[in-house]
């Protein structure tokens, strides 16, 4: 019997859905506005309806959700999802499974990005880190052959380490977080004040040598180096919309990361590569994660 897996990548702006069969063939990609279901009176039921509409009459073996928030360590409940607070504190996976009649799992969306990127390597590393810089700072930790969630499910919040001397407000509700100085959100504000006539996509092409943008890259390098010196991974994968911007100084970023690394290790042993993220990467990674965790029931095995 052919199994089908549905990957759901929930973002603040868009929700993306994709089907995959046992052989790894993808189909049925769909992108919808997250507000279309998240602002519904019952967002969980609306999400269930959205997923049900993407089944294409195929029996689903498992659904995997990728969410940009804090999840419980066992990945059964949402602890904090700022743009859909109605889901906070709820056992979302179990409730959706009940609505759909299909097993549902969930994880941080950034873990699905890293899982896709790790699958593109010739061999899985034992220790790897993904840093995906978009509106915020996504951070995924692959330690000793599995994703690391921490004692409470909140591991990998690199963007929320306190930055010395900084007291600016962060969207997380705290003050002084490095993400409030080193993210797409900060870049948008800087561009509005300093380069309003420049299309955002060309910001680094036209203004990459501006001292404040050079400091932006240096802050990013220092934050990443802190984590590299603590975890000593074999590989660092850099990705996200900011990293992919035209003219982004990748070579300078790598040079500055390495300048802050402890020698001889991890300075000499760390491999750094760049993710080639597309619109579909998050839900592709979710599909692969669904297949990875799938445990056939007697019904599926018959």
Q: What is the pLDDT of residue 302?
A: 40
- DSSP structural state of residue 84: -
According to DSSP, residue 105 is labeled: E
Determine how β-strand 137-143 pairs with β-strand 146-147.
antiparallel
The pLDDT, as a whole number, for residue 298 is 45
Dig out the tokens for 129 from the structure. 């880190």
Run of H or E residues at 263: none
What per-residue confidence (pLDDT) applies to 299?
47
Residue spans of alpha helices (H) in 134-279: 184-194, 203-207, 211-231, 250-259
Task: Output the pLDDT for position 55.
Answer: 79
Question: Within 13 A of 152's CA, how many CA atoms are on the CB side?
Answer: 5
- Hey, which residues does 14 pair with through a beta bridge? 33
- Give the per-residue pLDDT at 297: 58
Alpha-carbon torsion (34, 38, 40, 45), positive or negative:
positive
Average pLDDT over the chain, rounded to whole? 93
DSSP state of 261: S
Pairing of strands 4-10, 60-67: parallel
All residue ranges of the chain with pLDDT < 50 are 298-302
pLDDT per position as a tens digit, 108-164: 999 999 999 999 999 999 999 999 999 889 999 999 999 999 999 999 999 999 999
pTM summary value? 0.94
Whole-angstrom distance, CA of residue 21 vs CA of residue 287: 9
Distance CA(253)–CA(256), nearest Å, equals 5
Q: How is residue 150 written in tokens?
A: 């921490």
Helix (H, G, I), strand (E, B) or coil at 55: coil
- How confident is the model over 26-58, as pLDDT tens digits? 999 999 999 999 999 999 999 999 999 987 777
The CA distances from residue 78 to 147, 152, 166, in Å, are 17, 12, 30
In sequence order, what E strands does the chain have? 4-10, 14-21, 26-33, 60-67, 70-71, 78-80, 104-108, 127-133, 137-143, 146-147, 235-239, 271-274
Rounded CA-CA distance 135/30 in Å is 22
Number of other residues whose CB lies within 10 A of the CB of residue 21:
16
């Amino acid at each position: 019997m052919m199994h089908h897996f549905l990957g759901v990548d929930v973002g603040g702006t868009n929700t993306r859905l994709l089907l995959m069969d046992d052989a790894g063939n993808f189909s049925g990609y769909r992108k919808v506005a997250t507000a279309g279901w998240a602002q519904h009176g019952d967002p969980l039921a609306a999400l269930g309806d959205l997923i049900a509409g993407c089944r294409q009459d195929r029996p689903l073996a498992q659904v995997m959700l990728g969410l940009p928030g804090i999840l419980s360590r066992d990945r059964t409940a949402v602890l904090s999802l700022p743009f859909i607070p109605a889901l906070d504190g709820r056992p979302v996976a179990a409730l959706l499974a009940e609505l759909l009649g299909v097993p549902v799992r969930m994880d941080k969306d950034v873990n699905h990005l890293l899982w896709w990127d790790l699958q593109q390597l010739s061999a899985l590393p034992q220790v790897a880190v993904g840093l995906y810089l978009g509106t915020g700072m996504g951070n995924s930790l692959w330690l000793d052959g599995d994703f690391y969630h921490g004692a409470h499910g909140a591991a990998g919040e690199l963007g929320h380490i306190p930055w010395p001397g900084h007291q600016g407000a962060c969207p997380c509700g705290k003050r002084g977080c490095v993400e409030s100085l080193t993210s797409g959100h900060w870049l948008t504000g800087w561009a509005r004040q300093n380069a309003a006539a420049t299309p955002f996509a060309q910001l680094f092409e036209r203004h990459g040598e501006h001292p404040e943008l050079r400091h932006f890259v240096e802050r990013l390098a220092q934050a990443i180096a802190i984590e590299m010196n603590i975890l000593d991974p074999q590989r660092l994968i850099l990705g996200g919309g900011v990293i992919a911007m035209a003219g982004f100084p990748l070579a300078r970023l790598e040079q500055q990361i390495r300048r802050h690394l402890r020698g001889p290790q991890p300075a000499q042993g760390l491999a750094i590569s760049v993710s080639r993220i597309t619109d579909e990467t998050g839900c592709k990674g979710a599909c692969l994660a669904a297949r990875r965790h799938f445990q056939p029931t007697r019904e599926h095995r018959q």
